[in-house]
Amino acid sequence: MSNIPLIIMAAGVSSRMKKSFSSHNMSKTQLDQSNNRVKGYIQVGEGMEPLIYYLINNAINAEIKNFYIIISNDSKNFQEYLKSIENKLGINIKFAFQDFYGQVKPSGTSDAIFQTMNQYKELMKTRFLVCNCDNLYSVNAMEILKRENNYNSMIAYDYDCLDFSKDRLSSFSILKIENNFLSEIIEKPDIEIIRTSNQKKYVSMNIFSFIGSKVYKYLKDCPINKVRGEKELPSALQNMILDDKESIITFPLCEHVPDMTYKDDIERINNFLN
């Protein structure tokens, strides 16, 4: 179980972070970083380590030692930082570079994992975890996914436990679950539907466990989202579900996940870590 690697997606351009404003008195360092760095590389907490450091530490506590970190080609300083903590933490880090295909931003989360699997063929023959670099997932969440050996799996977060506003829910993917298996994934749902619904809501925070040989085809054939113009992971998973309704097992979890999307989130994560 300890040999299962973790893929961390960290090649985004952080457009929502850069466009947002803070209602708190941010330090000049954090303000500059929020406008210029990928979110996982922004320093937070009393130790002023990048967010990805705390994420990797949680993964280590879940007995994960091997990491594939997806970054962009123009991330030299981020690469140097990650290499500097590799020996310090006793882990193995491999870099996967997401080609933007000449565009100003990457082509989505599905494309990111697809490119990574093409760069590291061993991933097609093993099971691996995947998560974002800008959420601080718990040790518990990672351990739950590591214990599942038979299916692709994901954490289904109880929205009431996440401590986010209903408006924010519209930026997540809502999950429909039948007999513990994912039956539908609704990406960025209409906010009015969310506000008027009284049903318990489960959402994806983009942490999964995939069997490489089973997920690769769906990443490769993932359609382009008509609104965002990207190949998004929920689209690939929806196609997988259509072919096999028992292809992705879900694990409901009630806990807060610190999320770094906007500048105000930096202060919330500081408070959480401190």
pLDDT tens for residues 20-39? 988 777 888 989 999 999 99
> Could you tell me which residues are beta bridge partners of residue 138?
none
For residue 105, what are the domain limits? Answer: 6-273
* Alpha-carbon gap, residue 271 to 146, rounded angstroms: 29
226 inside domain: yes
Q: Euclidean distance between the first and final Cα of the chain, in Å?
A: 31
Whether the predicted pLDDT of 227 surpasses 90: no
In a domain, 236, yes or no: yes
The total domain count for the chain is 1
pLDDT tens for each residue of 87-132: 999 999 999 999 877 776 777 899 999 999 999 999 999 999 999 9
Residue 79 to residue 67: CA distance in whole angstroms = 13
Task: Output 221-224 pairs: Cβ under 8 A, ≥24 positions apart.
Answer: 222/108, 222/110, 222/111, 222/114
- Whether residue 186 lies inside any domain: the answer is yes
Q: Tokens for 36?
A: 């210029």
- Tell me the pLDDT tens digit for each residue of 5-25: 999 999 887 888 999 988 777
What is the C-alpha to C-alpha distance for residues 123 and 117, in angstroms, rounded to an integer?
Answer: 6
pLDDT at residue 47, as a whole number: 87
Q: Is 92 left (phi over 0), alpha (psi -120 to 50) or beta?
A: beta
Alpha-carbon distance of 214 to 224, in angstroms, equals 20
Cβ distance 175 to 182 under 8 Å?
Answer: yes
Does residue 132 fall inside a structural domain? Answer: yes
Encode pLDDT of 136-192 as tens digits.
999 999 999 999 999 999 999 999 899 887 777 777 888 999 999 999 998 776 666
What DSSP designation does 222 have? P
Choose between 47 and 7: higher pLDDT. 7
The CATH number linked to 117 is 3.90.550.10
pLDDT value of residue 110: 95
Q: How far is CA 60 from the centre of its chain?
A: 17
Position 1 scores a pLDDT of: 47
What pLDDT shows up at residue 136? 97
How much is the mean pLDDT over the chain? 91
In the DSSP assignment, the letter for residue 140 is H
Q: Is residue 1 part of a domain?
A: no
